[in-house]
Chain A
Amino acid sequence: MSDSDTSIQETETKPVVENQQELPKFEKDHSDKITAKFGSKSEIAFVKPDRIRVNVKKEDILDVASFLRDELNYDHAESVTGVDFPADKEIEVVYHLGSYTDPQLSRQVLSLATRAPREDNPNPGNDSTKLPSLRDIFYSVEFHERECFEMLGVFFEGHPDNRRLLLPEDWADLPPLRKDFAIKGR
């Protein structure tokens, strides 16, 4: 009885594992286009149903973003997220890109991620934590990048308006979404 049970389980679990390894076709073709164009400059971090993630170096992000807009029809950014990684001494910025104009892409959200160096004693705007702004390529990132600047201290070079957005004007502490800014009592 127990032998037959295990054999059934094995046959049941096997095709599931194969399905997981088989990447979704549309997304795979799509990510292959990026790899064909940029080769080792772009790293495809994952390909899931409706979601692709591309990691690039900050020197290449303008080229990759222009390619995504002009050749692959992504036309707007849904959000810009900064994630702090103190152990790597880096801050990651993730752009979630979508498309309204291309009906094939209406389900897709492409994450374009890059990393900026992180300093332990930040001086937002005047230290090495800088990235090129994508505002000239995706106009919609304007307010998102302003939020990212004040919350994580990532200065976007080429952004026309690097002012505070949500925080008080006289905020003089660390950028609050960095991991070393602790909430009292927690």
Chain B
Amino acid sequence: MTARLPPGLQLEKVDDRIMTLNVGPQHPGSGHMRLIIKVDGDYIVSCDPDPGYVHRGEEKMAEYRNYITNIPHLERPVIHDSCNILYPYCLGVEELLGLEVPERAKYVRVIASELNRFTYTLYWLGIYGIFLGHSTMFMWPMGDREFAIDLLEKLTGARVTHSYFVPGGVRNDAPANFEDVCLRQINYLEKRLKTYADIFYDNPILIARTEKTGVLSREDAIRLGTTGTVLRASGVDYDVRTKEPYDVYDELDVHTNVLKNGDSYDRSKTPWLDMLESCNIIRQALEKMPKSGSVRVKLKPNPKGGNDEVYKRVESGRGSLGVYIVSRSKPEPYRVKLSVGSFRNLICMPYLLKGEKLGNMPAVYWSLNYWPVEADR
């Protein structure tokens, strides 16, 4: 019977000691993906990640829609970070069509994408907390996340799926009192974030649970091509916002947070430090932003790109997010490829989980800052 099943559906029996364990795809401990784990007693001997449970074919869909109508569906892989996933796409289309973005729109984009970093990272932090059995760390980020969502709702009109970035600027201007409200709420949010250290990051139970688990050395982080917080937790100073600044990031003072140990603890701390840095970035952007002006250039209907290709990348909540667009003089792109941070960090899973205790699986898995829906696209 098993011989007739296609590969991947078979469950092979190795020997009496080793047991195969399916984690997911519907188990909340793995997100929407399956981990095929083989355990010997309490220890993981091999891990085979099997993504694709929520694969939606975004790249294929993008070949059938023109540059503007691609916007709402391309943000679907990460609705919590929808501005950041549209950012490289818009930068790429602007280069293909030769558009110049107004100065005010550039600052509004920076503010929107940094606010999205909050909504994504706080959501992730809540899940990370509950899977380590720390239910306060589930409640607090989910509650504080509302401040960032409220600001984004004020700015864009929608709570999660904003569709706010368009080639040539942003869809609409910020409302009149946005800057004051934003500054006030960011200051409050920063105060709240700092209290997370007392309850979570300085908590001896959490440190005992996550320190020295799933250690990724600097050399391996580079060799495996990891990105984002996973890379920076292993001691590599790399952030697209500082290394290849896009829009107005070169005019802002962005500090890159680098930690050295590369274990689950450092990997979970880097996103939190990034959020504190985002507060600084937003305050600087609010200060330097032109107080008035256009936020969008007018586009012709069905604009066509030339016979060209473009690869643009930004720093999202999960790492470098690249979009490769091939254009063949048509209103639709010939090929759109999303090179997402989650998919690039997937390669760490078999590597880090091998030899770990099964009980450490959630601590290692969620510290990778992995979003299954984005990896599947």
Q: How far is the CA of A171 from the CA of B326 in the complex (A)?
A: 27
Q: Given the complex, which residues of A lie within 8 Å of B376, measured CB to CB?
A: 166
Stretch at the interface among A29-37, A116-124, A135-143: A135-143
Which of A50, A81, A140, A163 sits near B335, CB closer than 8 Å?
Answer: A81
Known: A81-B324, A138-B225, A140-B344. Is A163-B238 also a contact (CB below 8 A)?
Answer: no
A53-112 CB contacts (< 8 Å) to partner B: 53, 75-79, 81, 83-84, 94, 96, 100-101, 106-107, 109, 111
Q: How far is the CA of A102 from the CA of B243 in the complex (A)?
A: 12
| Binary contact track A167-182/B, C-beta < 8 Å → 1, others 0 | 1111000001100010
Which of A51, A140, A177 sits near B223, CB closer than 8 Å?
Answer: A140
Tell me if B251 counts as interface (CB < 8 A to partner A). Answer: no
Q: How many residues of A contact B (CB 8 A)?
A: 40
Q: Given the complex, which residues of A lie within 8 Å of B238, measured CB to CB?
A: 100, 106
Tell me if A14 counts as interface (CB < 8 A to partner B). Answer: no
Stretch at the interface among B3-11, B112-120, B357-365: B3-11
Q: How far is the CA of A167 from the CA of B56 in the complex (A)?
A: 10
Known: A79-B322, A142-B347. Is A170-B222 also a contact (CB below 8 A)?
Answer: no
- How many pairs of A and B residues are in contact by the CB < 8 Å rule? 96
Q: How far is the CA of A183 from the CA of B65 in the complex (A)?
A: 12
Does the CB pair A77–B335 fall under 8 Å?
no
Q: How far is the CA of A139 from the CA of B223 in the complex (A)?
A: 6
Does the CB pair B337–A75 fall under 8 Å?
no
Which of A76, A165, A177, A183 sits near B225, CB closer than 8 Å?
Answer: A76
Q: How far is the CB of B80 from chain A (nearest CB, A)?
A: 21
Q: How far is the CB of B50 from chain A (nearest CB, A)?
A: 8
Q: How far is the CA of A183 from the CA of B311 in the complex (A)?
A: 26
Does the CB pair B8–A78 fall under 8 Å?
no
Q: Given the complex, which residues of B lie within 8 Å of A111, measured CB to CB?
A: 311
Q: How far is the CA of A147 from the CA of B340 in the complex (A)?
A: 13
Does the CB pair A167–B55 fall under 8 Å?
yes
Q: Given the complex, which residues of A lie within 8 Å of B50, measured CB to CB?
A: 165
Does the CB pair A96–B324 fall under 8 Å?
yes
Known: A78-B344, A166-B376, A183-B64. Is A96-B322 also a contact (CB below 8 A)?
Answer: yes
- 6 closest Cβ pairs, A-B complex: A140-B225, A79-B339, A76-B225, A166-B52, A169-B8, A106-B243
Identify 16 residue pairs between A and B in the complex whose beta-carbon atoms are under 8 Å apart, listed by A's number.
A78-B227, A78-B339, A78-B344, A96-B322, A96-B324, A96-B339, A107-B244, A109-B311, A109-B313, A139-B223, A139-B224, A140-B224, A142-B347, A143-B343, A165-B51, A183-B60
Please list the residues of chain B having a beta carbon within 8 angstroms of any beta carbon in chain A: 6-9, 50-52, 55, 57, 59-61, 64, 222-225, 227, 231, 236, 238, 243-244, 309, 311, 313, 320, 322, 324, 326, 334-335, 337, 339, 343-344, 346-347, 376-377
Apart from A76-B222, A107-B243, what are 10 other A-B pairs with CB-CB below 8 Å?
A75-B223, A79-B337, A96-B322, A106-B238, A107-B244, A140-B344, A141-B225, A143-B343, A167-B55, A177-B60
